[in-house]
Amino acid sequence: MRKFTILTALSLLALTACGHGGHNALPSSAGGTMPDTYLHQKMAAEQQRVPSTFVAPKHPGYIAETPSTQVWASGITQAGEAPVPGGMFDITNQYNTTMNGRHVTVYAGSLKTTGAGILLVVTRSADLHTVNAQTYTVASGPVRIQSAADGQLQLQTLGAAHQNVPFRLPM
Amino acid sequence: MQRAFLALAAAGAIAASAQACAQAAPAATTSRYMATVNRTTLYNEGCSMGSAALSGVVVLDFGEPYTSNGTQGTYDYGSAFVSDSSIINAAEGFLDGFWNCSPASPQLRLVIGTSNYGSQVSNAAGSAWGSAVNSLNNYISSKGYGSQEFARGGIDAEPGWDTEFSRTSSWVDGYNAATSYPLYDYGSADACPYSGYSGNCDGWGQHGLWYISWGNHDGYPLPEIYQWSMADQWYYESVYSSTSESNGRLGFLGTMTQYAACGCGSSTYSPSQGFNTLQNLLNGDSRTSYTMSYSTDITWAN
C-alpha cells in the first residue's frame, strides 16, 4: 500500500510537471468546460473524404521539367502580400525584376516591432527551386520604392520629411 | 533489494509519465508560398513527398484573392495573377505526383490556401474557393485517389490585414455556402491576449478569431506558431472558446512554422518547437487539452 502511494505520488508529480503554470490572469473557468460532444463530432467531420469507387494504379517517377516559360513580373507595384507574417512587417510596395537569370522581388515597408524601414529581398532561381531571402534595415521609419533601374533602387521615407535613400541590390 | 526495486519502479513511473507528457512532434511536411502554377513542378513536389512516404497536411499558399476581368483567382508570390482554374490544375498535378510516388499507406491532406490580405477579399472569392475545393475532391474521386488523399481549403487569416473583420467573415461565409469540406485557418492571432498582454485581436476580438478559425461550420485551426507568444495567444483563444462560446475548446489540427522560409535561425521556431510549445500549453490546462496531429513548415521554394 505504501509502495503504491509513493509510486502514485511520484507519477502525479511528474504529470504535474507537464503543466505550464505561467498564467495568472486566465479567463475564469467558473462556468466549467463545455461538453466535448461538439469537438468529437466536428473532428469526425474533418475526416470527410470522397467516396473511393476504385483504386488507381501507381506509376512512380518524376516528370522531367521543361524550362519555365513563366513571364516574371517587372516594375513597381503598390500592393501585394509578402510571404511573411502580417504581424512582422507592414509592406508599402514592391519591385520585381530579373537579374543575372534570377527572379528578384523586393518588398519595402517597415518592421512592426520597431517601425524601422526595411527591405525584404527575395531572390529565386529561374526554376523557382532555390530561394534566398534577406532583410535590410535602411531607415528609421517606413520606406517605399520610388524608382528602380539597373539594380539601383531609390527609396523614399514616409515620414514628414521625405528623404531619398539609395540602395543597390546585392547581386 | 526491495528499496532498490522501489526506486527503479518509481524512476520508471516518472519516465513513463514524462514520456506521456512530452509527446513527440509528428514529422513535418513542407508547405509552400507558391510562385508558379506549373503542373509539372507541382507533380514533382507531390512525388517528392510521396517518395518520402510522409503523411500529413501540405498547404500550397497562392497568395491574396484577386479578380482579373471578372475571373476569380489570386495574386501569387511571383506577383502574377493566377486564376482559380489554373490553381486547380496545378493542385491536381500535386495529387497525381503524390499518388504515383507514395506507397499505399501515407495520407495527404492537400490544402489550397489564400489569405485575407488586400481589398478583394469577398464573399464571391470565398465561394469560388469553396468550389475549387469541391473540384479537387471530385478529381480525387474520379482518379481513384480517395483512399489516400483529401483536398481542403485554407486561409491565412490575419487580423491585422482586415481590422474591420467584415471582408474576412464574408469570405468565410462564402466558402461555407459553397462547400462542406474543411477550411483550415493557418493564420495568426495578431494582437490577441496572452500572458501579460491584453489585446483585442486588432479589432476582431476573441469572438471574431473564434468564428474564423473554429466557429464557422467548416473551420479548423492550424495556426502559425513562430514564437512563444503566438502559441500562448492560441492557447488563450482555446480557453476563451472553452469558457465563453457554445462549442467548447478548439480542435487544433496542428501547427505551421516558417523555419525554412524565414532563415531566421533561432529567432523562429523549428517545426518541433512550434508544435511542442502549443501542445504543452494546451495539455497543461484541462479546459484546452487536445492532442494535435500535424506539423507543417512553409518555404518559399517551389
Residue-wise pLDDT for A84-94, tens only, equals: 777 788 899 99
What pLDDT score does A35 carry?
62
What is the rounded distance in angstroms from the CA atom of residue B159 to the CA atom of residue B209?
Answer: 8
Q: Other CB atoms closer than 10 Å to residue A89's CB: what's the count?
A: 19
Give the tens place of pLDDT for each residue, B194-240.
999 999 999 999 999 999 999 999 999 999 999 999 999 999 999 99
Report the amino acid identity of residue B282: L
Give the tens place of pLDDT for each residue, B21-46.
556 899 999 999 999 999 999 999 99
A2 part of contact set with chain B, CB < 8 Å: no
B201 neighbors B190 (Cβ within 8 angstroms): yes
Cell of A21: 503554470
What pLDDT score does B263 carry?
62
A1 part of contact set with chain B, CB < 8 Å: no
Non-local (6+) Cβ contacts of A29 within 8 A are B239, B242, B243, B287
B238 part of contact set with chain A, CB < 8 Å: no
Give the three-state DSSP class for B164: coil
Mean pLDDT across chain B: 92
Cell of A24: 495568472
A149 part of contact set with chain B, CB < 8 Å: no
What is the rounded distance in angstroms from the CA atom of residue B237 to the CA atom of residue A143?
Answer: 34
B254 neighbors B23 (Cβ within 8 angstroms): no
Which of B79, B82, B276 is most worth mutating to test chain A (most A CB atoms within 10 A of its CB)?
Answer: B79
Are the beta carbons of A58 and B143 separated by less than 8 Å?
no
Residue B148 is given by DSSP the state T
Confidence class for position A65, pLDDT limits 50, 70, 90: confident
What pLDDT score does A79 carry?
67
φ, ψ dihedrals at B301, nearest 5°: -75, 145
What is the rounded distance in angstroms from the CA atom of residue B194 to the CA atom of residue B284?
Answer: 15
Which of B264, B280, B300 is most worth mutating to test chain A (most A CB atoms within 10 A of its CB)?
Answer: B300
Place of cell 483550415: B184
Q: Which of A10, A56, A130 lies closest to B144 in CB terms? A: A56
A129 part of contact set with chain B, CB < 8 Å: yes
What is the rounded distance in angstroms from the CA atom of residue B291 to the CA atom of residue A126?
Answer: 41
Q: For A22, which residue in chain B has the nearest alpha carbon?
A: B195
- Please name which of B281, B253, B300, B275 lies closest in space to residue B57, comparing C-alpha atoms: B253
What pLDDT score does B20 carry?
44
Residue B194 is given by DSSP the state B
ipTM of model: 0.84
